[in-house]
Amino acid sequence: MSKSLADLAVEFWKLLNNYDRFIDVVPDIAKPRLAAQARFGKTRLATILQNEGMHLTVYDGHVFEPNLPVVAINDDEFASSDVLVISQTIEPTILQQLNVINVGKVYLAKSVSPRGL
């Protein structure tokens, strides 16, 4: 059940992210209502996961480290000496207590700061 719920949560999260982009292009009069629906969906997702002892984690802006529970889709584009940051989450990481239920997928970018901060 945990894996199925995590899979559903990832798909719903991706749908909500696409919905957020859609809100940016609708007429201004519709934006507040649509944004409220998106916030409600995000809150419900977090509540449902919390009820099962799970939570969703996004690492956008974090320095990429090999111990993070994510797969970097474009890690082959960089030198091993580059300091990398997570520029975009494609799929979130789903954790249940300290167990990784779903490994996230991310895009990386070179850090503009020498230490990634």
Domain boundaries in the chain? 2-110
Tens-digit pLDDT profile for residues 76-104: 999 888 999 999 999 999 999 989 999 99
3-state secondary structure 80-91: CCCCEEEEEEEE
Tens-digit pLDDT profile for residues 57-80: 999 999 999 999 999 999 999 988
Query: Residue 73: what pLDDT?
Result: 96
Query: Residue 33: what pLDDT?
Result: 96
Whole-model pTM: value is: 0.86
Distance (Å, whole) CA 42 – CA 64? 25
Mean residue pLDDT of the chain comes to 93
Concatenating the DSSP letter of every residue in 13-77 gives HHHHHHHHHHHTTS-TTTHHHHHHHHHHHHHHHHHHHHHTTEEEE--TTSBP-TTSSEEETTGGG
